[in-house]
């Protein structure tokens, strides 16, 4: 893929520049905090800090892309008053879009794969969205897939518009314009590594490109579930929600990652549980994916001045019946009989697949 500078939208104001009373909830997106993970990462040389995207008003990093995509569609006449937003989503993008749509008065229809949690479905419905559930074990071009079903609905429904987070350049642009600058400013330019779980590729492409422009030697690390194409796997099903792909989205810049670390479902789930237990941060499965990759990368970095920023894309409340249910973990082979999540130690594990790009 040719390297392209993401389209830039105006940057969101940081918290210090905001009025004490915001005009609506969408103005609260961004300016998320960095928190040190010194307990979980005890013993590694670099410092690992987490960017907590769960504090965005709809609960995830995807809040950042919703309003820019909607407002661009309004300017271009693609989305008009009384229109309908149709999008395939694993839940988080849907929540961000539903939040913005509620403020602006649009109808939302979200198409989801059947592996997504009940909590995510309930959350979207709480915003007033309508859901269409599709099978997850089908190819992307299968007419039953959530990609193709969303295409059909967008064609058939009068006044419908599909943001298409997998191809919309405003996805990485939002992170180039805000997420990357926030990290740079918060670390005063000391960040040396950025670690992101790859989904559509928008977060890692936009934030990674911005930080590399400021510091060319910065290392960008992608975390990818086993069964996803980013780390070279043959597409197959996996349990971790919201990240990994069975195709290459246009929003992913293939040149941005220096390393891609493949992460098994067990390591994703149990690292998230370990981090919640020792750091007090309730997080989702994809957060565990990113954290495990960051911890494994940190083991190979001897520089104590290195500063790794890992983006935690969402919180754990959408996964209480899965990730935080020991019986569910055992039923799905992620926890042995008689084993407790507290028995898991990331230090006893190592990556099986690491994809490296020559710099």
- Give catalytic residues, as residue numbers: 62
- Residue (of 81, 51, 310, 67) closest to 168 by Cα position: 67
Is residue 57 within 8 Å of 28, Cβ to Cβ?
A: yes
Find the distance separating the first CA and the last CA of the chain, reported in whole Å.
16
Helical packing angle, 92-104 and 118-126, nearest 10°: 10
- Residue (of 297, 221, 233) closest to 265 by Cα position: 233
Give the rounded distance of the alpha carbon of 345 from its chain centre.
24
Is residue 306 within 8 Å of 191, Cβ to Cβ?
A: no
3-state DSSP percent of the chain in helix, strand and coil, to 5 = 35, 15, 45
Cα-based distances in Å from 55 to 10, 30, 62, 223, 316: 21, 9, 12, 22, 12
Is residue 311 within 8 Å of 290, Cβ to Cβ?
A: yes
Q: Is 244 exposed, middle or buried (0-12, 13-18, 19+ CB in 10 A)?
A: buried
Q: Is 70 exposed, middle or buried (0-12, 13-18, 19+ CB in 10 A)?
A: buried
Cα-based distances in Å from 79 to 124, 131, 204, 349, 351: 20, 20, 28, 48, 45
DSSP state of 283: B
Dist CA 320 CA 23 (whole Å): 32
């Amino acid at each position: 893929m040719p390297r392209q500078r993401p389209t830039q939208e105006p940057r969101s104001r940081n918290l210090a520049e905001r009025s004490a009373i915001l005009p609506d909830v969408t103005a609260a997106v961004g300016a998320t905090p960095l928190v040190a993970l010194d307990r979980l990462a005890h013993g590694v040389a670099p410092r690992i800090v987490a960017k907590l995207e769960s504090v965005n008003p709809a609960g995830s990093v995807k809040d950042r892309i919703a309003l820019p995509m909607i407002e661009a569609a309004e300017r271009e006449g693609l989305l008009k008053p009384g229109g309908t937003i149709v999008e395939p989503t694993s839940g988080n993008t849907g929540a961000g879009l539903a939040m913005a749509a509620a403020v602006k008065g649009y109808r939302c229809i979200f198409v989801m794969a059947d592996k997504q949690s009940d909590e995510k479905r309930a959350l979207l419905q709480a915003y007033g969205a309508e859901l269409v559930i599709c099978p997850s074990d089908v190819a992307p071009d299968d007419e039953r897939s959530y990609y193709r079903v969303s295409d059909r609905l967008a064609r058939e429904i009068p006044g419908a518009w599909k943001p298409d987070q997998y191809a919309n350049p405003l996805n990485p642009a939002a992170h180039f314009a805000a997420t990357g600058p926030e990290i740079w400013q918060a670390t005063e330019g000391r960040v040396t590594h950025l670690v992101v779980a790859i989904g559509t590729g928008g977060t890692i492409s936009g934030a990674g490109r911005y930080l590399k422009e400021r510091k060319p030697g910065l290392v960008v690390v992608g975390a990818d579930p086993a069964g996803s194409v980013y780390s070279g796997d043959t597409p197959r099903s996996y349990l971790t929600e919201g990240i990994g792909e069975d195709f290459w989205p246009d929003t992913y810049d293939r040149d941005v990652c220096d390393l891609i670390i493949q992460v098994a479902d067990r390591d994703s789930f149990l690292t998230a549980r370990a981090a919640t237990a020792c750091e007090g941060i309730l997080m989702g499965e994809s957060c565990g994916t990113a954290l495990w990759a960051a911890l494994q990368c940190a083991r190979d970095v001897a520089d104590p001045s290195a500063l790794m920023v890992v983006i935690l894309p969402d919180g754990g409340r959408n996964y209480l019946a899965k990730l935080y249910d020991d019986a569910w973990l055992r039923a799905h082979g992620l926890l042995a009989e008689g084993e407790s999540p507290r028995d898991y130690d990331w230090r006893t594990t190592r990556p099986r697949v690491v994809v490296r790009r020559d710099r």
